[in-house]
Amino acid sequence: MYLICFCSEWCQTCRNFKLLFDSAKWPGVKKIWVDVDSDIDFLDGISMPDVPTVLIASNDLKTSFYSKLPGSIDRLKFLVDHMKKGTFPVGHVDENSLNIILKIKNGKFKFNPI
């Protein structure tokens, strides 16, 4: 499973959340932090509605959740846990989400897994 957070250094909410995101331990989840200001090339052709935004996608790329960051790390953990179990009504992967995941899977975005 992929958990990708799109944030920016100028965003206080993002900076506060990054500490929690970095320390969260979720086995089987590839956590990726994308800075929307410094990772411009990666975001080319990708629609980003707002920051902070989160994308959770299954490994098989069949289901995803793509929205503004939930209000707390606990809410995000709830979403991740239920998506892993298949018990959360998530949507099918849209083209935008698919482009993001494929860029990561194909090595077009170098990241340091957290």
pLDDT in tens, 79-112: 888 888 877 666 666 777 777 777 777 766 655 5
Q: Average pLDDT in the 8-33 region?
A: 87
* Domain boundary assignment for the chain: 2-105
DSSP 8-state assignment for residue 50: S
Q: Average pLDDT in the 8-32 region?
A: 87
Q: Look over the chain and give the mean of its residue pLDDT values, rounded to a whole number.
A: 79
* SS3 state at 40: helix
Residue among 64, 15, 66 at smallest CA distance from 37: 15
pLDDT at 103: 76
Q: Which pairing describes strands 2-7 and 63-68: parallel, antiparallel, or unpaired?
A: unpaired
Superfamily designation of domain 2-105: Glutaredoxin (3.40.30.10)
111/101 Cα distance (integer angstroms): 13
What is the H or E stretch that residue 15 is in? helix 12-23
| pTM across the whole model | 0.79
